[in-house]
Amino acid sequence: MQQSAEYDQYPRRRVLAEHRLARLERLSIQHARYFGRVETRLQLYMAATGANLTLLANQIGVVGDPDL
C-alpha cells in the first residue's frame, strides 16, 4: 500500500478525519444525552451539522474563530 500512488493522500485524509472526530468530541458527542441508537444518531447529526456550518462560515469569512 505504501508504494501505491494512492498512499500519498492517505496521511492527509487521516489527519482531516481525526481532526473532525476531535471537533465532534469537543461538541460534547462523547457524552450523549439520549439513550438508544436513533436518538444518539440524531444528536451526532445535529452536532456534525453545527460543526460543518461553523467551518463553512469560517471559510467564507462570516466567523472569525471556528472554536467559538
Q: Is the pTM of this model over 0.85?
A: no
For residue 38, the one-letter residue type is V
Which pLDDT value is given to residue 54? 82
What's the CA angle centered on 36, arms 26 and 31, to 5 degrees? 20
Residue of 66, 27, 64 whose CA lies nearest to 48: 27
For the chain, 68 residues long, the average pLDDT of each consecutive 10-residue run is 80 85 76 74 85 84 61
SS3 43: helix
* Residues in CB range of 19: below 8 A, 6 or more apart: none
pLDDT of residue 40: 81
Q: What is the pLDDT of residue 34?
A: 64
